[in-house]
């Protein structure tokens, strides 16, 4: 039996004494025991749980004299100061002119990530008490007093008290009001609503929600579609709370109409504002105050400021790497602003947990310690990273039209200088220039000098720029690259802390920030479960079809990684812990996000697992430009990955009932224009413009059309999908609930509907919600019905856990 005390953090530098295969054998997982081998693997049949976190885009529609963002800017000390300095000649007049244009030339009257303001009297007593508690410096200590910035959220106008809050926090107050208004409501509705309150986070910049309950992934419940359906219903609840707030809190009556929807890329206008104001003022306007989700909200708020400052600095330090890679000629390349907008990128994080691993870590007698979890987890991550190109653009995307003037390497490459080594960075930039529409007389040209010169070159030479399938994956800091002395995935405890220390010394990162990885270990000691989080999902067209299938594939790849380890086929030796090896596999992922057709790997690469994949890949050529390297077609690499899954995971596919998922993957790979999410989203955006190709459209026109599509058509598409799922759930559960559950829920439903027919009510209110004309009372009723549905889901989850 292993002494766990020997494996505590003070022994973090100690390497694991066991082979990965031996660790699994310690848990009774033996490849030679064929009868029970597959079922005993982590993340196999009946062992998988899932949860998701979704970052959403919020806007407030209205005239600039009614909406908080323009009002705050015009009343700010910065605006007043810069206006006076411009008038006296101390500052360029262009600064104030650009800011005034931003305020006055908003033809659509859409203000992204604006806060809202409304009379406090519109809150019911319960919602008001929630707000009061959230203003505390420490929510667990009633004697701690108020936050030091509490006056930012309360002001008086015409003798009346008003509340001023971000939309992300509005959702929590809206739910609190919906379960606290209009007298008595069923106890299970109130109880469920209070549990759900904490799942609406006031974090970062955009609204965030996370799963209302842990979702078991089983063949009999549709595997990945189960977590997609939970996400879809949570999205519908978010929509209802938004509409309820617009009505109940008099937002629409006061010229503010809030909308929330899925959109992966930072809004064009917010990006424009970021260029013309200082980063400190940008943070003041957009970093959320973290009123909800943390006991000491101001500490989290300060942390988010730190993240923005560090990422802004990190982009500046990337210039040295670009120079070292001979991508820019000197350090004189200039970023237009010291600030950056990367934190405004939105994505979905999908976490998978293993009931088996969590149980082993919970029970001291198992001998399965933190060190073993880390050793196995890091190896699984390295294996899974080779499969991630299958997901990019296939299941989620963030289509972006890049103008020629933005095709400067210091802007276009984003955080890639800190995620890839110099050689792969150079290769990607060379291929990107070759792919993009930036050539004159057969030679690629990139912008240089002041912005006006880039525009002139674009107009004279008719250079269009490029179209990128998922620019979010380039624009956000997705993954830390190891240093020579501090590998982040070598299986030792504390390796991430050591890497962050190295990167902090290089002014790339900060030790206080969470580690960034494409696929991240969720450690039991920290999370209360053992699993992995996929952080590479951008925007789904359909939650059930795209997110659900993606969750299936993530599950399959995860289970296959453990199968490889249990059979002794892959160890840390096969995927060495070296920055160049990390960069070699990750460049495939980032190249897929950019849309580069080919990539290069060393012919004699020491990554033996990658070599195995390459032997299954067609259309490989020896590179003339880079001697000793092989040139590989991205499409063929993905086909090879699918072929390997069909061969090596055939037994897992059958066990988990994922045959349809593999057929769906094949369709997306063979006909991406029709079946991939990049293809489907791009087609829908082009339909808005009545155009055939994104490259034929001006960049700004395409990107603004994409935002309109996400804000209106796609939002309604997701709402319609969510309503269908909700109705199917009610139909099914009325027929299958046990008597006690049926009575419990049926009594609550009748109390809410007052003997109205459920199906007729859902049909009528669906149409009103789709047309955004639902009444406050109907919205409240539907919110209560959704909470009943959620309570049922929670009970079913507990039943599954007890059976397991």
How confident is the model over 92-126, as pLDDT tens digits? 888 899 999 999 999 999 999 999 999 999 999 99
Does any domain span residue 731? no
pLDDT, position 88 = 86
* CB-count burial class (<10 Å; 0-12, 13-18, 19+) for 139: middle
**For residues 131 and 494, what is the distance between their CA atoms, to the nearest angstrom?**
39
Model confidence at 236: pLDDT above 80: yes
Q: Are 507 and 310 in contact (CB under 8 A)?
A: no
Q: Are 201 and 211 in contact (CB under 8 A)?
A: no
Q: Could you read off the pLDDT of 337-380 as tens digits, one per residue?
A: 667 888 899 999 999 999 999 998 888 656 788 889 999 999 99
**In which element (H, E) is residue 687 found?**
helix 677-689
* CB-count burial class (<10 Å; 0-12, 13-18, 19+) for 702: buried
Q: How many structural domains are present in the chain?
A: 2
Pair 508, 611 in one domain: yes
Domain boundary among 632, 663, 697: 697
**For residues 631 and 654, what is the distance between their CA atoms, to the nearest angstrom?**
34
Does any domain span residue 770? no
Model confidence at 31: pLDDT above 80: no
Which residues constitute the domain of residue 176?
57-67+109-261
Pair 567, 666 in one domain: yes
Q: Are 206 and 57 in contact (CB under 8 A)?
A: yes
pLDDT, position 6 = 35
Q: Could you read off the pLDDT of 442-453 as tens digits, one per residue?
A: 888 888 878 888
Domain boundary among 261, 282, 304: 261
Domain boundary among 212, 241, 261: 261
Pair 27, 174 in one domain: no
pLDDT, position 577 = 94
Pair 576, 609 in one domain: yes
What is residue 519's DSSP assignment? Answer: E
The percentage of the chain sitting over the pLDDT mark of 70, rounded to a whole number, equals 94
pLDDT, position 94 = 83
pLDDT, position 734 = 62
Model confidence at 574: pLDDT above 50: yes
Does any domain span residue 739? no
Q: Could you read off the pLDDT of 189-227 as tens digits, one per residue?
A: 999 999 999 999 988 889 999 999 999 999 999 999 999
* CB-count burial class (<10 Å; 0-12, 13-18, 19+) for 258: buried
**Is residue 737 very low, low, confident or very high in pLDDT (cuts 50, 70, 90)?**
low
Pair 353, 218 in one domain: no
Q: Angle 265-432-613 (CA atoms, 0-180°, nearest 5)?
A: 95
User: What are the C-alpha distances in Å from 594 to residues 436, 470, 609, 705?
Assistant: 10, 6, 24, 20
Pair 488, 369 in one domain: yes
pLDDT, position 142 = 87
Pair 32, 159 in one domain: no
Q: Which residues contact 8 (CB under 8 A, 6 or more apart)?
A: 370
**For residues 748 and 487, what is the distance between their CA atoms, to the nearest angstrom?**
55
Pair 34, 121 in one domain: no
Pair 385, 494 in one domain: yes
Q: Angle 170-145-289 (CA atoms, 0-180°, nearest 5)?
A: 35
Pair 61, 34 in one domain: no
Does any domain span residue 88? no
SS3 content of the chain, % helix, strand, coil (to 5): 55, 10, 30
pLDDT, position 803 = 55
Q: Could you read off the pLDDT of 2-18 as tens digits, one per residue?
A: 333 333 334 444 577 77
Pair 27, 114 in one domain: no
Does any domain span residue 256? yes
Q: What does the block give as tokens for 173?
A: 């107050």
Q: Could you read off the pLDDT of 530-565 as tens digits, one per residue?
A: 999 999 999 999 999 999 999 999 999 999 999 999
Least confident of 87-96, 153-162, 165-174, 512-521: 87-96
pLDDT, position 287 = 92
* Mean pLDDT, the chain, whole residue set: 91
Does any domain span residue 675? yes
Pair 155, 17 in one domain: no
Does any domain span residue 373? yes
Does any domain span residue 483? yes
Least confident of 330-344, 451-465, 681-695: 330-344
**For residues 168 and 599, what is the distance between their CA atoms, to the nearest angstrom?**
41
Q: Could you read off the pLDDT of 238-259 as tens digits, one per residue?
A: 999 999 999 999 999 999 999 9
**Is residue 719 very low, low, confident or very high in pLDDT (cuts 50, 70, 90)?**
very high
């Amino acid at each position: 039996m292993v002494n766990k005390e020997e494996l505590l953090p003070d022994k973090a530098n100690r390497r694991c004494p066991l082979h990965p295969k031996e660790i699994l054998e310690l848990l009774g997982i033996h490849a030679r025991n064929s009868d029970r081998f597959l079922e005993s693997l982590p993340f196999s049949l009946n062992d998988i749980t899932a949860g998701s976190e979704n970052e959403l885009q919020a806007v407030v529609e209205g005239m600039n004299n009614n909406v908080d963002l323009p009002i705050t800017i015009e009343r700010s000390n910065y605006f007043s100061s810069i206006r006076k300095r411009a008038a006296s000649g101390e500052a360029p007049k262009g600064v104030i002119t650009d800011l005034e244009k931003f305020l006055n030339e908003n033809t659509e009257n859409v203000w992204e990530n604006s806060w809202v303001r409304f009379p406090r009297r519109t809150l019911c007593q319960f919602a008001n008490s929630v707000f009061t508690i959230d203003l505390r410096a420490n929510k667990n200590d009633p004697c701690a007093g108020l936050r030091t910035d509490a006056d930012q959220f309360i002001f008086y106008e015409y003798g009346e008290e008003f509340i001023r809050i971000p939309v992300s926090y509005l959702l929590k107050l809206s739910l609190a009001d919906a379960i606290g208004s209009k007298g008595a409501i069923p106890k299970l509705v109130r109880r469920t609503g209070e549990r759900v309150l904490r799942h609406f986070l006031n974090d970062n910049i955009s609204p965030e929600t996370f799963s209302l309950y842990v979702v078991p992934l089983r063949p009999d419940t549709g595997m990945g579609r189960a977590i997609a359906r939970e996400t879809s219903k949570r999205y519908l609840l978010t929509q209802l709370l938004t509409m309820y707030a617009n009505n109940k809190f008099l937002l629409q009556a006061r010229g503010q109409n809030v909308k929330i929807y899925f959109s992966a890329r930072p809004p064009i206008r917010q990006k424009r504002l970021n260029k013309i104001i200082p980063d400190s003022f940008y943070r003041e306007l957009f970093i959320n105050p973290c009123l909800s989700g943390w006991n000491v909200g101001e500490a989290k708020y300060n942390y988010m400021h730190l993240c923005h400052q560090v990422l802004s600095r990190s982009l500046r330090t990337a210039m040295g790497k670009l120079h070292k890679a001979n991508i820019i000629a000197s350090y004189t390349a200039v970023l237009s602003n010291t600030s950056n907008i990367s934190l405004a990128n939105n994505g979905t994080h999908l976490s998978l947990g293993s009931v088996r691993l969590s149980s082993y870590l919970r029970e001291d007698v198992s001998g399965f310690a933190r060190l073993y979890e880390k050793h196995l987890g890091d190896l699984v991550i390295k294996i899974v990273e080779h499969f991630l190109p299958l997901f990019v653009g296939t299941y989620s995307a963030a289509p972006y039209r890049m103008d020629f003037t933005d095709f400067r390497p210091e802007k276009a490459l984003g955080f890639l200088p800190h995620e890839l080594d110099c050689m792969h960075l150079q290769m990607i930039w060379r291929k990107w220039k070759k792919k993009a529409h930036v050539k004159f007389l057969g030679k690629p040209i990139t912008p240089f000098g002041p912005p006006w010169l880039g525009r002139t070159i674009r107009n004279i030479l008719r250079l269009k720029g490029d179209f990128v399938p998922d620019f979010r994956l380039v624009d956000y800091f997705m993954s830390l690259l190891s240093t020579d002395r501090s590998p982040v995935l070598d299986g030792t405890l504390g390796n991430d802390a050591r890497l962050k220390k190295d990167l902090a010394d290089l002014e790339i990162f900060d030790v206080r920030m969470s580690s960034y990885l494409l696929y991240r270990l969720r450690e039991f000691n920290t999370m209360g479960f053992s699993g992995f989080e996929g952080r590479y999902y951008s925007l789904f067209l359909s939650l059930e079809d795209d997110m659900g299938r993606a969750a299936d594939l993530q599950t399959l790849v995860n289970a296959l990684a453990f199968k490889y380890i249990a059979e002794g086929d892959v160890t840390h030796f096969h995927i060495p812990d070296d920055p160049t090896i990390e960069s070699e596999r990750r460049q495939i992922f980032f190249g897929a996000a950019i849309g580069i057709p080919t990539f290069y790997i060393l012919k004699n690469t020491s990554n033996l697992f990658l070599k195995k994949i390459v032997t299954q890949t067609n259309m490989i050529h020896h590179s003339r430009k880079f001697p000793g390297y092989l040139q590989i077609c991205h499409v063929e690499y993905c086909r090879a990955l699918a072929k390997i899954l069909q061969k090596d995971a055939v037994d897992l596919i059958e066990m988990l009932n994922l045959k349809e998922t593999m057929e769906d993957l094949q369709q997306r790979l063979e006909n991406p224009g029709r079946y991939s999410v990049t293809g489907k989203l791009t087609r829908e955006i082009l339909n808005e413009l009545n155009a055939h190709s994104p490259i034929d459209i001006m960049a700004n026109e395409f990107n603004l059309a994409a935002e309109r599509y996400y804000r209106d058509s796609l939002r309604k598409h997701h709402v319609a999908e969510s309503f269908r799922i909700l109705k199917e759930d009610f139909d099914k559960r009325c027929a299958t609930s046990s008597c006690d559950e049926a009575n419990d829920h049926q009594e609550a439903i009748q109390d809410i509907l007052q003997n109205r027919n459920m199906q007729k009510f859902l049909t009528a209110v669906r149409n009103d919600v789709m047309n955004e004309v639902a009444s406050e009372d109907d919205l409240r009723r539907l919110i209560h019905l959704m909470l009943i549905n959620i309570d049922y889901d929670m009970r079913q989850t507990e039943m599954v856990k007890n059976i397991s």
